[in-house]
């Protein structure tokens, strides 16, 4: 096998691993993720035992959560406006319970996500401080 062949094989495996991570984020089962990625369930389970793959998967999950947080934060102002309009009775007297629930939950989830990110940042800073102290 030539150096070029080895490089192409490694690139192919990296693409498959990336597809597997993407599939894990969107499928509801390991079997479904493996099928979506075009690999066997056994291969995916083996990769999930690999610390490098687990780290890449963990990073991808964190990135997905950050994206969801950004969407919640972006929708928070609309949620607040919706609650204000309902409070001011701008939408009449028809049942607005679903809109109130959605708006209130959006605000609550956005606040929780921001608090989680803040906690994570503070924890990382403390860990870095403690590692520097030794």
Q: Note the pLDDT of residue 76.
A: 92
55 within some domain: no
The domain boundary residue, chosen from 29, 49, 69 = 49
Same domain, 82 and 124: yes
Query: Which domain range does residue 75 map to?
Result: 61-134
Confirm whether 26 is domain-assigned.
yes
Q: How far is CA 119 from CA 6, 106, 111, 113, 125, in A?
A: 43, 20, 12, 10, 10
Q: What share of the chain is helix, strand, coil (3-state, %, to 5)?
A: 85, 0, 15
Closest CA to 10 of 52, 63, 49, 58: 52
Is 56 inside any structural domain? no
Residue 66 and residue 45 in one domain: no
The predicted structure's pLDDT at residue 130: 87
DSSP annotation string for 37-84 = HTS-HHHHHHHHHSHHHHHHHHHHHHHHHHHHHHHHHHHHHHHHHHHH
Statement to judge: residues 70 and 110 lie in one domain? yes
Do 134 and 96 lie in one domain? The reply is yes
pLDDT, one tens digit for every residue, the chain (134 residues)? 677 778 787 888 889 999 999 999 999 999 999 999 999 999 999 999 999 999 999 999 989 988 998 999 899 999 999 888 888 876 666 778 888 899 999 999 999 988 988 898 899 899 889 877 65
Residue 91 lies in a domain: yes
Residue 96 lies inside a defined structural domain of this protein: yes
Domain for residue 84, yes or no?
Answer: yes
DSSP 98: H
Same domain, 100 and 79: yes
- Please count the structural domains in the chain: 2
Closest CA to 41 of 54, 24, 55, 56: 24
Residues 6+ apart with CB under 8 A from 7: none
Does 43 lie in the same domain as 66? no
Q: Are residues 96 and 120 in the same domain?
A: yes
Residue 43 has a pLDDT of 95
Instruction: Look up the pTM and report it.
Output: 0.67
Quick one: 106 and 43 in the same domain? no
> How many C-alpha atoms does 25 have within 13 Å on its Cβ side?
19
Domain-embedded: residue 24 = yes
CA distance 57 to 43: 15
């Amino acid at each position: 096998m030539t150096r070029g062949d080895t490089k192409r094989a490694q690139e192919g495996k990296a693409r498959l691993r990336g597809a597997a991570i993407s599939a894990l984020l969107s499928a509801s089962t390991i079997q479904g993720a493996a099928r979506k990625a075009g690999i066997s369930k056994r291969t995916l389970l083996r990769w999930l035992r690999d610390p490098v793959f687990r780290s890449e998967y963990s990073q991808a999950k964190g990135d997905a959560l950050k994206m969801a947080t950004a969407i919640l934060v972006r929708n928070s102002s609309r949620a607040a406006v919706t609650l204000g309009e309902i409070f001011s009775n701008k939408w009449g007297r028809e049942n607005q319970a679903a809109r109130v629930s959605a708006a209130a939950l959006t605000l609550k989830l956005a606040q929780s996500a921001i608090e989680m990110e803040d906690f994570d940042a503070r924890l990382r800073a403390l860990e870095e401080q403690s590692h520097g102290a030794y």
